[in-house]
Amino acid sequence: MRTNHLSHKKRLSRFVRLLGRLRPLELPVTHRHNSVELFNDGRQFFEALFDAIHSAKHSIQLEYYIIQNDRIGTGLAHELAAAVRRGVTVKLIYDYIGCLDTPASYFKDLSRQGVKLLPFNVPSFRRGFYWFDKRDHRKMTIIDGTLALLGGFNIGDEYAGCVAGKQSFRDLGFSIYGESVGELEAIFHNTWHGERDGHAAQTPLERPRRPVSRLGDAAVNIISGGPLQLHSYIRETFQVNIASAAEEILIATPYFVPGPRIIRSLLRAVRRGVRVRLLLPARSDVPMMLLLGRSSYATLLRGGVEIFELEREILHAKVMLIDAERTIIGSANLDQRSFHRNYEINCLVDNVRFGGQIRDLLLEDIDGSRRVDLDVHERRGIAVRIMERVVSLFGWFL
């Protein structure tokens, strides 16, 4: 699928009009001439991650929501310790709540090996209950300030395909090599210093100005989200790009609580002739999220949105593709927590080759998934409907 010139002009005009209505606080900077590589499963991603850490010469910065003390987690610890021994500075931010199941000995051993650690949002009852609802949901590694690996992968065996099929997670990752990595590094430093002193994270981001080098042909925007923003940049990026679509929208997300604005945007897209397909999970590691997501199916299906549920694995990929050429990919789900309360990192990649790879993967997953039929969905039992209603009362907090 390729958009024609007329479709591109129509999409651009809608994009500009919507930007004027939303008036975001700060438009993202477009970094051109990046090289972007897609990793379509956990094996590819973790091989690339460990190879990148092994090749680091000066610095490694990691920021992850979950790090488990299993085969993959142990392998990461060994690679980081080896990097420190050869003189590389290694800094790791991990989410305290996300790593509750990880033994403290894992992180103590990393510290003894010389890795500089920062647990994000350690419980402090002096702040009341606010600390409990704040999460660092980002997943990224930055190597020597020039290479970054991102996506939906946490550090654990189920993300790497090391467990039984139906317990493994279907995820996507990617790497960026180019000037946009400097902005990711600045975001990491803001979080590192902000979590230490409680103030730096609220200061405007100082984007580094580096000479442009032509490493590739992908234009990249970095979309950083967090609860300190007055408006949700994450949600606005989704909304603006949905509104700009001329022919096709493909979405995969594991936790689907989009809220009325995104739902209206998807329905408007269908009404103007855009084909919209959602790939959602049939099984989840957070079962209540399935109930919550399915409570909006009827509205979407009646409006012409096509919905498919992935059954063979637990869906964990977070990606939106617009007209086979513009991809939003990273750590953020289409849910209220990612929009408003998590620290997230997404990338907007404008590149036909990368978009084509994403489209091929999503269509393959859609072909292997169960299509949700409105008539069948409407015949779900009264008990399920009641549970959906009850769970929806707490949807904003999940």
The pLDDT, as a whole number, for residue 375 is 93
Which comes out higher in pLDDT, residue 272 or 289?
272
Q: Can you tell me the distance from the alpha carbon of 337 to that of 342, in angstroms, rounded to the nearest whole number? A: 6
Token pair of 54 as six digits = 């092994």
pLDDT per residue as tens digits for the range 205-246: 555 555 556 689 999 999 999 887 778 899 999 999 999 999
pLDDT at residue 128, rounded to an integer:
60
The DSSP element (H or E) to which 320 belongs, if any, is strand 319-322
Choose among 32, 13, 31: nearest CA to 240.
13
Q: Which of 31, 134, 136, 318 is catalytic?
A: 318
Average pLDDT of the residues in 295-314: 95
Task: Pull the structure tokens for residue 376.
Answer: 């069948």
The verdict on whether 318 is a catalytic residue reads: yes
43 has pLDDT over 80: yes
Q: Say yes or no to pLDDT of 279 above 50.
A: yes
Is position 316 annotated as part of the catalytic site?
Answer: yes
- CATH class assigned to 5-397: alpha beta
Q: What's the mean pLDDT in 187-215?
A: 68
Q: What is the pLDDT of residue 23?
A: 45
Name the band, by pLDDT with cuts 50, 70 and 90, for residue 297: very high
> Sorting pLDDT into bands at 50, 70 and 90, what band is 171?
very high
The pLDDT assigned to 24 comes to 46
Higher model confidence: residue 269 or residue 389?
269
- 10 as an active site residue: the answer is no
pLDDT exceeds 90 at position 39: yes
Percent of the chain at pLDDT exceeding 70: 85
Among 95, 136, 323, 335, which one carries the catalytic annotation?
323
Closest CA to 172 of 152, 147, 142: 152
Give me the catalytic one of 31, 139, 157, 340. Answer: 139
DSSP string computed for 102-117: S-HHHHHHHHHTT-EE
Is 323 annotated in the active site? Answer: yes
pLDDT at 372 over 80: yes
159 pLDDT more than 70: yes
Per-residue model confidence (pLDDT) at position 393? 67
* Catalytic residue (choose from 70, 109, 133, 144): 144
- Ranking 139-153, 230-244, 285-299, 321-335 by mean pLDDT, the lowest is 285-299
- DSSP secondary structure string, 226-293? -TT-SS-HHHHHHHHHHHH-SSEEEEE-SSB--HHHHHHHHHHHHHTT-EEEEEEESS-SSHHHHHHH
6 vs 39, residue with greater confidence: 39
User: What single letter denotes the amino acid at residue 392?
Assistant: S
Q: How far apart are CA 393 and CA 184, in angstroms?
A: 36
Task: Kindly give the interhelix angle for 382-392 and 287-294, rounded to the nearest 10 degrees.
Answer: 100
Question: Taking Cα atoms as reference points, which of 235, 254, 233, 226 lies closest to residue 120?
Answer: 226
Which residue of the set 157, 316, 340, 350 is catalytic?
316
